Protein backbone atom coordinates (compact mmCIF):
# COMPACT_ATOMS: atom_id res chain seq x y z
CA UNK A 1 0.00 0.00 0.00
CA UNK A 2 1.31 3.42 -0.94
CA UNK A 3 0.93 5.86 1.93
CA UNK A 4 2.53 8.96 0.41
CA UNK A 5 0.41 11.78 -1.05
CA UNK A 6 0.22 11.95 -4.81
CA UNK A 7 2.11 15.25 -4.97
CA UNK A 8 5.15 13.52 -3.43
CA UNK A 9 4.93 10.52 -5.78
CA UNK A 10 4.49 12.63 -8.91
CA UNK A 11 6.88 15.55 -8.47
CA UNK A 12 5.94 17.60 -11.47
CA UNK A 13 4.36 21.02 -11.08
CA UNK A 14 2.87 20.74 -14.60
CA UNK A 15 0.61 17.87 -13.55
CA UNK A 16 -3.07 18.87 -13.66
CA UNK A 17 -4.77 17.46 -10.57
CA UNK A 18 -8.09 19.11 -11.42
CA UNK A 19 -8.29 17.06 -14.60
CA UNK A 20 -8.66 13.95 -12.43
CA UNK A 21 -10.75 15.64 -9.74
CA UNK A 22 -8.00 15.20 -7.13
CA UNK A 23 -6.22 17.26 -4.51
CA UNK A 24 -2.41 17.03 -4.40
CA UNK A 25 -2.67 15.71 -0.85
CA UNK A 26 -4.88 12.72 -1.82
CA UNK A 27 -3.34 9.32 -1.30
CA UNK A 28 -3.31 6.56 -3.93
CA UNK A 29 -4.98 4.03 -1.62
CA UNK A 30 -8.02 6.32 -1.48
CA UNK A 31 -8.66 6.35 -5.24
CA UNK A 32 -9.73 3.55 -7.54
CA UNK A 33 -7.28 1.59 -9.67
CA UNK A 34 -8.58 2.87 -13.02
CA UNK A 35 -8.14 6.49 -11.99
CA UNK A 36 -4.65 5.78 -10.64
CA UNK A 37 -3.60 4.13 -13.90
CA UNK A 38 -4.91 7.11 -15.88
CA UNK A 39 -2.85 9.40 -13.66
CA UNK A 40 0.27 7.30 -14.24
CA UNK A 41 -0.27 7.36 -18.01
CA UNK A 42 -0.75 11.13 -17.98
CA UNK A 43 2.37 11.63 -15.89
CA UNK A 44 4.46 9.45 -18.18
CA UNK A 45 3.18 11.43 -21.16
CA UNK A 46 4.63 14.57 -19.57
CA UNK A 47 8.06 13.03 -20.07
CA UNK A 48 9.12 12.66 -16.49
Answer whether residue 1 shows pLDDT above 70.
no
pLDDT digits (tens, 9 = 90+) for 3-33: 777 777 666 666 777 888 888 788 878 888 8
Residue 48 CA to residue 33 CA, distance in Å, equals: 21
Length of the chain counted residue by residue: 48
User: Whole-prediction pTM value?
Assistant: 0.61
Domains of the chain, by residue range, sit at 6-45
SS3 annotation, the chain: CCCCCHHHHCCCCCCCCHHHCCCCCCCHHHCCHHHHHHHHHHHHHCCC
Q: Are 39 and 17 in contact (CB under 8 A)?
A: no
Amino acid sequence: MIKKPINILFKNFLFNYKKFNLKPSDRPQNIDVDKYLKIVNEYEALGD
